[in-house]
Structure 1
Amino acid sequence: MRIRTILTAGDMSTLSAILSGALVDPSAQRLALAIYERENDHTTIEFRHFQSTMDYELAWKWIRIVTSLVQVASKPASEFDHKLQLIATEYQRMDGRWRLYTWDKTFGQETIDPWLNSWEWMLPILDLQDDVPFWRDYVARLPGRNELS
């Protein structure tokens, strides 16, 4: 229910109101505090990849990724297993790409780490294909990101 509430917020100002408890809908109030009240619950997932930002669009895209991960994990077992199989298949493909990258790097060839673009296959698995253009543009602007090593 909390994830659904966050996803239906629609924009950062509404999400801010939800988290502050300013909205009257009891199912949407105090989401952040409700999470912290579960002191003895050790099922927390910590995402350290997210960088601090004042860019509301970037923050919103990260929220969509995190909530999509939770939604995938909350699906019935057969759907969850299907998503895991898709991820496992991509990881198997990455093994060959990683070996080639390591080989090229060892022998001084110019190459790009294949894991740097793994987001391209992960977003559609998380049903976030609409976010691909945003992330493609964002990643392309990162300094030194697309340089050969």
Structure 2
Amino acid sequence: MVKNDGKGEIMKFSEVEETTWDELSPYFDTCLIPYTGLTGNETPIQATKALERLRDFMDLVEIPFKGRVITYPAFQYGLGEDYSLLNEVCHHVKTTGFRYVIIMTADANVDGEKLNNCNLLLSLQSMKEEGQAISAAVIKEKIQNLWSE
């Protein structure tokens, strides 16, 4: 059910067992949706590097919040400013019992104002552009603030 990759225990959607979900679900109130934002114009090397950047950024959430956050499948492609499908996915995830939905992206410039069904957008690109520190402590504070609202 839980994968240990040497960095800590990480809960992925595919590791949840049907027989234990009802018992565990009260402890998992937050869903993490990785958003790659690929366009299809990337070479295989560029796509791989984008996925690696997103994976490394996601470690700042997955590792410290194991046992409360479940990572769902990545939303890989995004063209332009239309976030309707991503918004719909966030809405549906909430209807399955998650109270909070966090979208994480490393490279995509996402307008958080257009993601009204997302509780928290963590954008590596935006944080860099705004001169924000990018560390486990900063990400932890953002998530804890979300949970305390």
TM-score (norm 2): 0.28
Pick the structure with more helix per residue.
1
Task: Look at both structures and tell me which one has the larger radius of gyration over its CA atoms.
Answer: 1
Query: Relative contact order, CA 8 A, sep 6+: which one is greater?
Result: 2
TM-score (norm 1): 0.28
More strand as a share of residues: 2
